[in-house]
Amino acid sequence: MAHYLATVRSPRSPREAFDLVADMRTFADWDPGIRSVVQVDGSGPGPGAVFDVRVVGFPLDLTLRYTTERYHAASSGVSEVLLVGRSTLFTSVDLITVTPSGAGCLVRYDADLRLAGPLRLGDLALRPVFAWVAGRAEAGLRAALAGESVRA
């Protein structure tokens, strides 16, 4: 399994930041690894919303079907969304947490990527590639949130 964890400190309000990161329709705007997102069930972000996410692949693009497994938009306090994407090759589990911090917030993006079935034997080789892809996504998220990376 490949794992990536990033935290971005943003001057945006927790609600504004959560609205951005909890809506998969915005992901292609800030993540260069995502070519397009189409909502296939639901209306906007929220519990049970389903999205087809076309990711840049080598040599071919790949579509993952993401389902919103958990969605909690807090009026104050911690908000979080759990997005699980599946394809014939991968399962991606993305937990995004937004916590108020000072005049802004902290956005924590915790992602696991696992190859499917017998391909799992290649999980170890997937780690450096996933770290590179996720690092580019973190840079895009940092720009979208007008923030800075925070290392734990």
The one-letter code for the residue type at 121 is L
CB atoms within 10 A of CB 12: 20
- Under a CB-based contact definition with an 8 Å cutoff, are residues 14 and 100 in contact? yes
**pLDDT > 70: percent of the chain:** 92
pLDDT at position 132: 77
- For the chain, list the domains and their CATH numbers: 2-150 (3.30.530.20)
Residue 80 pLDDT class (50, 70, 90 cuts): very high
